[in-house]
Amino acid sequence: MKTYRRQRQQYLFAGLLGVIGGINLLFFFILYAPARSEYYRLQESIERSRSEVESRRQKIETLERLNVQLSTLDQDRQRLFMRHFIPRAAGWSEILLKLNEMVQEAHVENTQKGYSIDPNPQYGLYSVKIRVPVQGAYPNVVNYIKDIENSEIFFIIDSIDVRTGGSGPNPSDIALDLNIETFFHQ
């Protein structure tokens, strides 16, 4: 009987362990689905976060490059001003010398020049309008215009008024009134 009782206790104990194991298995299946969906949701969130981090890293790199370019903006602006524009204090005398030099190189005639300066600067530049009447042979006048276009100083040809130069020493000459614009910097 002792054996029977012991065996019955073992069966009872095994049954109790089986019931506890079954309940644990049921809890596992009940909790597995939410935990699994939470796991996949967290994985998607991590992927989104990684892509956002990569996107922000690229934006930061772009902004850093832009910052480097902007840091040299003032130097580039000053270099541009010094290279292609004349300081306002010495402006007209330097322009006059440069235009006279071009007149001599192109072998055209020029007796006078007129200019007017805009007193209100825009972007640190003063607009200067210059009227240059020239007379000479057609190829020489063309060379003069090319010299103005290729000058180191920044010139804009606003208009060209053409007329025959029949009153000069050579009746085949042409006469031009060039209206050009340049800029002085302060």
Segment 16-64, tens digit of pLDDT: 889 998 888 888 888 788 888 888 899 999 999 999 999 999 999 999 9
Q: What is the pLDDT of residue 165?
A: 60
Measured CA to CA, the distance from residue 178 to residue 113 in angstroms comes to 10
CA dihedral 145, 150, 154, 155 (to 10 degrees): 10
Measured CA to CA, the distance from residue 130 to residue 128 in angstroms comes to 6
Q: What is the pLDDT of residue 115?
A: 80
pLDDT tens for 127-159 read 889 898 888 888 888 888 888 888 888 888 888
Q: What is the pLDDT of residue 3?
A: 74
Q: What is the pLDDT of residue 92?
A: 74
**Full-model pTM:** 0.56
Question: What is the three-class DSSP state of 114?
Answer: strand
Q: Where are the beta strands (DSSP E) in the chain?
A: 86-87, 114-117, 125-136, 156-164, 174-185
> Residue 94 — φ and ψ, nearest 5°?
-70, -40
- Report, as an integer, the average pLDDT of 64-92: 75
CA distances from 92 to 52, 62, 89, 149, 158 (A): 58, 44, 8, 19, 18
